[in-house]
Structure 1
């Protein structure tokens, strides 16, 4: 019987071919499905690993499997597989909405060892200070998210909490690559990108024009005033479709759904690699 929040038979059928086989000798691995359900329980409740219910087996087994699979990369493969299947049946909507959200870091998230002095063999993600920084809310991490027209995750990045939104837009879009079901190059270019005023910058608009992407973002007040002060030399205001911009709420709704997972709503993980893996697993569930 499938418990609350656990993998369904349909979901398991998709995931199982993408999981890595057992490596080396030794005892037989604990059932993959039981371990993934343990990880989902941790993600949903935000409880410490040591409080894992007995029905999921030893907590060290679940934690070690998560660590190994961060290193081997099956979580990204599963997410990519789900996105590719959606695109194959024309469910994927290539109108991308982007936004960011700051997540408060628990005190347990601080104090990770510096690179080179850590016994963990995970390749630490290229995130400044493990993705932790000081914003007005204190120690925090910022999630930069791109969703499709249905509000389902396409790609995300994590940065320290004080990082700006606009510099992350192009790297976020560069991370979108959806393989074709048959032959052909992966699709990388959305039809439209919708963003709020934080992403309104001349360099960003120029980058979107170069990529032949329709960019829908309102101008900031200071940009409007600067153009007005220059008179006729200020040029025309950029095109802005109010009706299209109203669709941006899907990314805000996606953040609300992601933060139903308590382990994401507050960051407890010391390592950026662990927190990013948790985000990927939640995106798979959505």
Structure 2
């Protein structure tokens, strides 16, 4: 991958102080953090095996081990959470997207059990449940098996989030979800289901803004390791997701 796919100076300045090993931390200072993150980005964007990582990023085994260590300790998630503290709360949009899983994602000890993998119409898959802010930037992710229903995850996506309007498609039209939204002081912009006896009104012009979350999914899926799941462990796939989403904030 050419250098244009690596972190720019401005992007690096936004995240460098959020990573382990920075000056002032206990232990060894990680002077190669930027090169390491660029190596991870190469894997994320290309979808290639770690062992095919260009030599300029260092030993691939060491980088893979470091990536998994940071994933298990929540580093990638913490970076994402810090960046999303400055979100725009006028609108909150929620939706889901199916990701096909490569057969290697189900290999290994334990198989797909408890790793957000399941069978849907497209075969082995994972479903990304996501919320985005008014600018279409991701603010929260939940992973489930591909056959999971969308509505049950809405409560977790909405928990603790403040917004003026919550925009979602009719798949989230349930009384429980509507009440949860209204309890926060927000207005639900959700089309009523066809089988509703009493049609609940909604703002059709505001609903058009829902395209922002669809465009956000499209941006994330430009990364090949997001568009197709190769990682057996959900924590590793989600860590790649946090990294890709973080780039949309810097």
TM-score (norm 1): 0.80
The answer on 1:113 being equivalent to 2:98 is no
Structure 1 alignment gaps of length 5 or more:
116-126, 177-187, 228-235
Q: Which residue of 2 aligns with 1:284?
A: 246
Q: Which residue of 2 aligns with 1:220?
A: 193
Structure 2 distance, partners of 1:93, 1:170, is: 17
Q: Equivalent of 2:145, from 154, 160, 168?
A: 160
The C-alpha deviation readout for 1:163-217, integer Å capped at 9, x for no partner, is 000000110122x6xxxxxxxxxxx311111000111112211222222221111
Q: Equivalent of 1:263, from 217, 222, 225?
A: 225
Q: Which residue of 2 aligns with 1:202?
A: 175
**1:50 Cα deviation (Å)?**
0.8
Instruction: Assess, with a 3 A threshold, how the Cα gap between structure 1 residues 207 and 93 changes in structure 2: closer, same or farther.
Output: closer
Q: Equivalent of 1:100, from 96, 99, 103?
A: 96
CA contact (8 A) 1:128 1:160 kept: no
TM-score (norm 2): 0.91
Q: Which residue of 2 aligns with 1:137?
A: 122
The C-alpha deviation readout for 1:204-235, integer Å capped at 9, x for no partner, is 11222222221111111122xxx2xxxxxxxx
CA contact (8 A) 1:6 1:37 kept: yes
Instruction: Assess, with a 3 A threshold, how the Cα gap between structure 1 residues 32 and 161 changes in structure 2: closer, same or farther.
Output: same
Structure 2 distance, partners of 1:28, 1:247, is: 45
The answer on 1:250 being equivalent to 2:221 is no
CA contact (8 A) 2:21 2:29 kept: no
The C-alpha deviation readout for 1:247-286, integer Å capped at 9, x for no partner, is 0000000010000000110000000000110100000011
Q: Which residue of 2 aligns with 1:33?
A: 34
Q: Within 5 A, what are the aligned runs for 1:78-93?
A: 78-84=79-85, 86-87=86-87, 92-93=88-89
Structure 2 alignment gaps of length 5 or more:
none
Q: Which residue of 1 aligns with 2:203?
A: 241
CA contact (8 A) 1:197 1:220 kept: yes
The C-alpha deviation readout for 1:134-190, integer Å capped at 9, x for no partner, is 00000000000111111111111110000000000110122x6xxxxxxxxxxx311
- What SS does the aligned partner of 1:237 have? coil
If you compute each CA radius of gyration, which structure gives the higher value, 1 or 2?
1
Structure 2 distance, partners of 1:171, 1:37, is: 32
- What SS does the aligned partner of 1:164 have? coil
Q: CA RMSD in A?
A: 2.2
CA contact (8 A) 1:93 1:150 kept: no
CA contact (8 A) 1:45 1:261 kept: yes
How many pairs are equivalent?
245
